[in-house]
Amino acid sequence: MSAIRLSEKGYIEAGEREGYYTVVQDDRARTGGYLIFLCKSPEFDGEVFDLWAENEEFLARMLADSRIRWLGVPLFLHRGFNRPVPLDEEAPEIRIGVKGVREIWARRDLSSPRRVESRYLTIQADPAAPDRYIVYTSESPDFGGRVRVDRIAGEEALRRYLAGAFPKSFRWTDEPVTMDPDTKQPIIGPA
């Protein structure tokens, strides 16, 4: 087995998944494990399969029979969509402790009319770990109700997350937001 490289494109030259391209991503902050993406296309623009390994030992066992040639090409795939996230000049800048908004055209079902819906986001530094960020997203402008939480390690991974989840229709407001990591709700008043 080859040494496993995270967030780098590889080609499986031998093993059960011979002929597939692969990317292994650290997802410990969100699920506690690792995501393994597999695709016949080197651009990951075809059908992409994903597998989950609960820890490093399980990851090593899953790829034990694979001879992987690592290509030296960094690649990050968006969880859920299984598509590459480009990192370019159009990725939103990183702003900590400020509210951002993305407006999208959506409909609840095929019989309902299309309408603009908003998604709100704020990024907070993770107090438990340096170089890790907590991203809170909500349908509510005051982050009340249901709030999704993603923990992301490293600035480059955060930029790729923003580029994939909040593309061109995204803008930052100047409204400060401080979130409580335990309750996942905004802190009202001085933090």
Question: β-pairing, 67-74 with 8-14?
Answer: antiparallel
162 φ/ψ angles, rounded to the nearest 5 degrees: -65, -40
Cα–Cα distance, 144 to 30 (Å, whole number): 21
* pTM, two decimal places: 0.54
* Residues in contact with 140: Cβ distance below 8 Å, sequence separation at least 6, in sequence order: 120
Cα–Cα distance, 165 to 139 (Å, whole number): 14
Query: How many structural domains are present in the chain?
Result: 2
| Joined tokens for residue 139 | 């349908």
Q: What is the pLDDT of residues 131-141, one digit of tens each?
A: 788 889 888 88
Do 107 and 78 share a structural domain? no
What was the pLDDT predicted at 89?
47
Reference 151, options 53, 31, 6; nearest CA is 31
E-strand spans in the chain? 8-14, 21-27, 33-39, 48-53, 67-74, 77-78, 83-84, 98-106, 115-125, 132-138, 147-153, 170-176, 179-180, 185-186
Residue 3 counted as domain residue = no
Examine the fold and report which residue of 84, 107, 133 is the final residue of a domain before the chain moves on.
84
Q: Are 126 and 112 in contact (CB under 8 A)?
A: no
Which residue segment(s) compose the domain that 142 sits in? Answer: 98-186
Residue 118 counted as domain residue = yes
* pLDDT beneath 50: ranges in the chain: 1, 89
Residue 191 counted as domain residue = no
Q: What is the pLDDT of residues 117-172, one digit of tens each?
A: 678 888 998 888 877 888 898 888 888 888 888 888 888 778 777 766 665 567 88
Cα–Cα distance, 66 to 69 (Å, whole number): 10
